[in-house]
């Protein structure tokens, strides 16, 4: 029976159809619509948990947030940005000076170098103004595709989808992505079905769901309203 069900999942997923154990067929588009409706009710306000006052503050916070909790970043940024509140001020600093403010986060040496380099390049290329284009953002040290997408979507409400560990995990578990091996593959699959206007919000829906409900080690399925359509739940409920 298990072999048969695995075959059915593989066959129907190739045709963008979700096949469940109740022998109902749900097309991928319908699954996305169901999940969106759920999140619109369950998490009507979905936004970043990083504290920031302007685009520069946010790009600093996002660089610091790599493999570090938002809670920790929010503890570090007030003192850091009080000392270096602008690209001009941070560009004048040396990495070892920045390090003293961020040494309790992960990879502080690298991040200190990235922050100084980012500030200097921001002044050199963009007159100190954080750009809204994903490709332009990636010209800055410490800014990869994920960080660029965060800035573009959060600050400028662009249809850019940042795939972090939470988004990657939740999309795969629910069935929104199929056999995606990389964040980029997940991003491409999600962007195919998400309405453009909802992309910035969908990013936060998936992050918050992954952070508080669909946690990595022990997902709280008993508190989740998506179990009727969730692939992970169906595979593990017994």
The catalytic residues are 146, 164
In the numeric block, which tokens belong to residue 95?
A: 């990495």
Sign of the four-CA dihedral 6, 12, 18, 24: negative
Could you write out the three-class secondary structure of the chain? CHHHHHHHHHHHHHCCEEECCCCCEEEHHHHHHHHHHHHHHHCCCCCCCCCCCCHHHHHHHHHHCCCCCHHHHHHHHHHHHHHCCCHHHHHCCCHHHHHHHHCCCCCHHHHHHHHHHHHHHHHHHHCCCCCCCHHHHCCCCCCCHHHHHHHHHHCCCCCCCCCCHHHHHHHHHHCCCCCCCCHHHHHHHHHHHCCHHHHHHHHHHHHHHHHHCCCCCCCCHHHCCCCCCCHHHHHHCC
Contact of 35 with 174, CB cutoff 8 Å: yes
| φ, ψ of residue 4 in degrees (nearest 5) | -65, -45
Closest of 57, 66, 76 to residue 130, by C-alpha: 57
């Amino acid at each position: 029976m298990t072999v048969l069900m695995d075959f059915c999942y593989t066959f129907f997923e190739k045709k963008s159809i979700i096949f469940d154990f109740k022998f109902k067929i749900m097309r991928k588009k319908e699954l996305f619509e169901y999940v969106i409706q759920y999140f619109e009710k369950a998490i009507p306000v979905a936004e970043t948990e990083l504290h920031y006052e302007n685009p520069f503050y946010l790009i600093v916070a996002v660089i610091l947030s790599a493999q570090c909790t938002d809670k920790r970043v929010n503890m570090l940024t007030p003192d850091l940005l009080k000392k270096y509140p602008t690209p001009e001020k941070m560009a004048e600093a040396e990495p070892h000076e920045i390090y003293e403010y961020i040494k309790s986060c992960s990879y502080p040496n690298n991040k200190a170098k990235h922050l100084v380099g980012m500030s200097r390049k921001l002044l050199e290329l963009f007159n100190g103004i954080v750009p809204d284009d994903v490709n332009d953002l990636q010209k800055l040290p410490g800014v990869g595709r994920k960080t660029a997408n965060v800035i573009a979507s959060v600050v400028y409400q662009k249809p850019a989808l940042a795939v972090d560990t939470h988004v990657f995990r939740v999309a795969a578990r629910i069935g929104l992505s199929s056999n995606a091996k990389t964040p980029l593959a997940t991003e491409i699959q999600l962007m195919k079905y998400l309405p453009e206007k909802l992309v910035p919000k969908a990013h936060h829906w998936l992050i918050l769901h992954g952070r508080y409900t669909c946690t990595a080690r022990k997902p709280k399925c008993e508190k989740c309203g998506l179990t009727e359509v969730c692939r992970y739940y169906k595979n593990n409920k017994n």
